[in-house]
Structures are given as structure tokens and as C-alpha cells.
């Protein structure tokens, strides 16, 4: 039983993985990623971000994103677009103070519309969803003080969603964030934002839970948080799952990691509106964790030699 096969049997739309352009020259890696028994969906880890798609104002480059989208098309996999509006990986020209409110609104609209239109024309058949807005909140539930919120205010979220919907009516439109997987101020802030957007009639379809977790401390209220969002009529998805440990890995840590993966998957499995799961790359060889969290790693279900770890069986058992 593969990961995607298990997800499908449980009634989910997909199980998938993030990938990134530099990895696509690794033939053994690509063969694993293209095994639709494990992966029915892929997400570009970097190449659809703003710095990659609109490096200078009005100049759009789609080659990196297209390479990932073409692979999905070739494999018959769904695509999750990631992302349109985010405080990170912005080109230098998108900086607070450079633009007044009206100008930045027009820039956000053009960016979201153009990125979606490119996707729609080329890949309408399998572009399942987009993370339209990524990480709008601080951990205490206040708005992140980024160029978009500082210049436009709360309304930038609805603005981006509307531009995306107008450009690609078929895609499910998401807000995506981390540290919203347990009850608390940040999850409450996201819930209130979702309610307010739905009350305004903004085109919001789903909430993405990144799920960058730590072995031995995965959230315990995850399922009930997911249910709070599906109760609003939204779908939810696990969008960037990995479960890191302090290196070196040991058999005990790998066993705990298996249990942790199983529990996270089970939370999604128990919620009908949790429609799919994406891991933030499938192998430790290409995980973002070691370069971001010093001394930590081994977060993926395959090791750096592309060999399955106990976590793989934990995922299957969770569905
Ligand atoms: C990460 C990529 O995986 C890295 O390659 C890059 O250097 C930084 O961004 N949350 C997100 C993702 O929404 O876009 C981030 O991806 C990981 C955290």
C-alpha cells in the first residue's frame, strides 16, 4: 500500500509532496516523486513565489513553476500553487514605503491575476488549489507587520482572493499558516479572519495547516481545530508536513516519529473536510529543515538515501 493509495482508500483527494527545481535533475529522486502510488499531488517549494515569478514590476517569469507543473501533468498528479502573497521571498522592489495603498493594491491584483492566469491557461485541468495568502499572522494572533498589512490593511487578504478567483474560477483558494494546529491565539485569529471573509462574501475555500512539527511534541488539539474550520463550511488540508528531531537520529526517535506521523494523519483522516495531505518534500536529502533549524533534521518519511523510514508505515497506519 502506498501513501496516496492509502489516502484515496480513506476518501481523501490526494497525498502529495513538495518538490523544488534543483532536485529535478536527480533521476532517482524524480522516479520516487513520480510514483503515483505514493504521490498524487505536488507543490513547488519555491518556484511560484513572488521573487521567482515577478522579480521586477510587471516582468513575469514562469519557467521554474512551469517545470514543476509539467512534471505534475506528465505524472497525472494534482498541483497546489504556492504562493501568491507572503512576507518572505519577496523581490526587493516590493518593500514597505515604496508604494501608497492604491498602488500596492493594484500591484497585488496584477500579481495574483497574472500568476493564476498563467496557471489556468497552461494547467487548468490539474491545478487543484492555491495558497493565495501565506502566513498573515504573528504567533500571538496579531497581524504580521509586513508590507501588505502596513500599506493596505486587513483588506489585502480579500483583495488577493478576489483577484485569484477572477483569474482562475476553478481553483480552490486557501490561506495557509503555521502554529495554528493547536487551539490558541493564532488559531483563533485565523478562525476570526475566515469568519469575517466568509461574511463579506470573499472567495475563500480552504485553510492550509503547514504542520512543521517536532518529534515528541505534535499538537494534541489538531483534530478539534480542523473541525472548527470545517464547521464554517471550509475545507482544510495539511500542506507542508514534516516532523523534525535533534540530530543524530536514533531508533527510539525514529519510532516516536512514526507514532507522531500516524497521529497527525489520523487527525486529518477523522475529519471529512480534511481533503488531503502534502509533506514538505519526501526525503531528508532535500528537506529545508537542517538549513533552517540548526542541529535538527531527519524530518521526512524517506532518509537521505531515499530509503523509507518507520514514518512511512506510520502514515499508512494513520489513514
Ligand atoms: C521554504 C523552502 O522549502 C526553502 O527552500 C526556502 O529556502 C524557504 O522556504 N513555510 C512555507 C514555505 O510556506 O514556503 C517554506 O518553504 C517553509 C515554511
Residue 23: active-site member: no
For residue 131 and ligand 1, the question of a CB distance below 6 A is answered with: no
Q: Which of 86, 175, 210, 288 to mutate to test the pocket of ligand 1 (most atoms within 8 A of CB)?
A: 288
Average pLDDT over residues 235-252: 98
Average pLDDT over residues 146-174: 96
For residue 219 and ligand 1, the question of a CB distance below 6 A is answered with: no
**Ligand 1 mean position to 132 CA, how many Å?**
15
Residue 161's pLDDT band, with cuts at 50, 70 and 90, is very high
Q: Which residue has the cell 477523522?
A: 270
Q: Is the pLDDT reported for residue 47 higher than 80?
A: yes
For residue 111, CA distances in Å to 26, 50, 118 come to 31, 8, 11
Residue 127's pLDDT band, with cuts at 50, 70 and 90, is confident
Ligand 1, closest atom to CA 239? Answer: 13
Which residue is catalytic, options 54, 135, 181, 240?
240
Give the integer Cα–Cα distance in Å for 288 and 277. 18
- Return the ∠ at Cα 161 (arms to 155 and 165), rounded to 5°: 145
For residue 287 and ligand 1, the question of a CB distance below 6 A is answered with: no
> What number of other Cβ atoms are within 10 A of residue 257's Cβ?
27
Ligand 1, closest atom to CA 49? Answer: 14
Reduced 3-state DSSP string for the chain:
CCHHHHHHHCCCCEEEEEECHHHHHCHHHHHHHCCCCCCCEEEECCCCCHHHHCCECCECCCHHHHHHHHHHHHHCCEEEEEEEECCCCCCCCCCCCCCCHHHHHHHHHHHHHHHHHHHHHHHCCCEEEEEEEECCECCCCCECCCHHHHHHCCCHHHHHHHHHHHHCCCCEEEEEECCCCCCCHHHHHHHHHHHHHHHHCCCCCEEEECCEEECCCCCCCHHHHHHHHHCCCCEEEEEEEEEEEECCCCHHHHHHHHHHHHHHHHHHHCCCCEEEEEECCCEHHHCCHHHHCCCEECCCCECCCCCECHHHHHHHHHC
Q: Is the pLDDT reported for residue 223 higher than 70?
A: yes
User: What value of ipTM does the predicted structure carry?
Assistant: 0.99
Q: Is the pLDDT reported for residue 319 higher than 80?
A: yes
Confirm if 284 and 302 have CB atoms less than 8 A apart.
Answer: yes
Give the mean pLDDT of the chain.
Answer: 96
**Ligand 1 mean position to 289 CA, how many Å?**
9
Query: pLDDT tens for residues 111-124?
Result: 999 998 887 767 65
**Ligand 1 mean position to 201 CA, how many Å?**
30
- Return the ∠ at Cα 282 (arms to 308 and 125), rounded to 5°: 130
**Ligand 1 mean position to 245 CA, how many Å?**
18
Q: Give every CB contact of residue 155 below 8 A, 6+ residues apart in sequence.
A: none
Give the integer Cα–Cα distance in Å for 65 and 69. 6
Residue 239's pLDDT band, with cuts at 50, 70 and 90, is very high
Query: Ligand 1 atom 16: the closest Cα is on which residue?
Result: 45
Confirm if 136 and 176 have CB atoms less than 8 A apart.
Answer: no
Q: Which of 280, 289, 291 to mutate to test the pocket of ligand 1 (most atoms within 8 A of CB)?
A: 280
Q: Which residues pair with 56 in a beta bridge?
A: 59
Ligand 1, closest atom to CA 291? Answer: 7
**Ligand 1 mean position to 292 CA, how many Å?**
9
Query: pLDDT tens for residues 82-106?
Result: 999 999 999 999 999 999 999 999 9
Query: pLDDT tens for residues 207-222?
Result: 999 999 999 999 999 9
Give the integer Cα–Cα distance in Å for 282 and 309. 11
Q: What is the pLDDT of residue 60?
A: 95
Q: Which of 13, 31, 19, 8 is nearest to 306 (CA)?
A: 31
Query: Ligand 1 atom 14: the closest Cα is on which residue?
Result: 45
Backbone angles phi, psi at 318, to 5 degrees: -70, -25
Query: Ligand 1 atom 15: the closest Cα is on which residue?
Result: 45
Confirm if 230 and 268 have CB atoms less than 8 A apart.
Answer: no
Residue 195's pLDDT band, with cuts at 50, 70 and 90, is very high
pTM of the entire structure?
Answer: 0.98
Residue 125's pLDDT band, with cuts at 50, 70 and 90, is low
Is residue 240 classed exposed, middle or buried when 0-12, 13-18 and 19+ CB atoms within 10 A define those classes? buried
Amino acid at each position: 500500500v502506498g501513501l496516496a493509495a492509502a489516502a484515496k482508500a480513506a476518501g481523501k483527494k490526494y497525498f502529495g509532496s513538495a518538490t523544488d527545481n534543483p532536485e529535478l535533475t536527480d533521476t532517482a529522486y524524480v522516479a520516487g516523486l513520480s510514483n503515483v502510488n505514493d504521490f498524487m499531488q505536488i507543490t513547488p517549494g519555491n518556484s511560484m513565489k513572488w521573487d521567482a515569478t515577478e522579480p521586477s514590476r510587471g516582468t513575469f517569469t514562469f519557467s521554474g513553476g512551469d517545470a514543476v507543473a509539467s512534471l505534475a501533468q506528465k505524472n497525472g498528479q494534482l498541483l497546489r500553487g504556492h504562493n501568491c502573497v507572503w512576507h518572505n521571498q519577496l523581490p526587493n522592489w516590493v518593500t514597505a514605503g515604496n508604494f501608497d495603498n492604491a498602488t500596492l493594491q493594484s500591484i497585488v491584483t496584477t500579481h495574483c491575476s497574472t500568476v493564476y492566469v498563467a496557471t489556468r491557461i497552461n494547467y487548468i485541468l490539474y491545478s487543484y488549489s492555491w495558497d493565495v495568502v501565506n502566513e498573515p499572522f504573528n504567533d500571538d494572533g496579531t497581524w504580521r507587520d509586513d508590507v501588505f498589512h502596513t500599506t493596505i490593511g486587513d483588506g489585502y487578504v480579500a483583495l488577493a482572493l478576489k483577484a485569484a478567483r477572477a483569474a482562475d474560477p476553478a481553483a480552490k483558494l486557501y490561506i495557509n499558516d503555521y502554529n495554528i494546529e493547536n487551539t490558541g491565539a493564532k488559531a483563533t485569529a485565523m478562525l476570526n479572519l475566515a469568519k469575517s471573509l466568509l461574511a463579506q462574501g470573499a472567495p475563500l475555500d480552504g485553510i492550509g495547516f503547514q504542520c512543521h512539527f517536532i518529534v515528541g511534541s505534535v499538537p494534541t488539539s489538531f483534530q478539534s481545530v480542523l473541525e472548527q474550520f470545517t464547521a464554517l463550511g471550509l475545507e482544510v488540508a495539511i500542506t507542508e508536513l514534516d516532523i523534525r528531531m535533534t540530530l543524530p537520529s536514533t531508533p527510539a526517535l525514529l519510532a516516536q516519529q512514526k507514532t507522531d506521523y500516524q497521529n497527525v494523519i489520523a487527525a486529518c483522516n477523522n475529519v471529512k473536510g480534511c481533503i488531503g495531505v502534502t509533506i514538505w518534500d519526501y526525503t531528508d536529502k532535500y528537506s529545508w529543515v537542517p538549513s533552517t533549524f540548526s542541529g535538527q533534521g531527519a524530518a521526512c518519511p524517506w532518509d537521505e538515501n531515499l530509503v523509507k523510514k518507520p514514518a512511512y508505515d506510520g502514515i499508512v497506519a494513520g489513514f
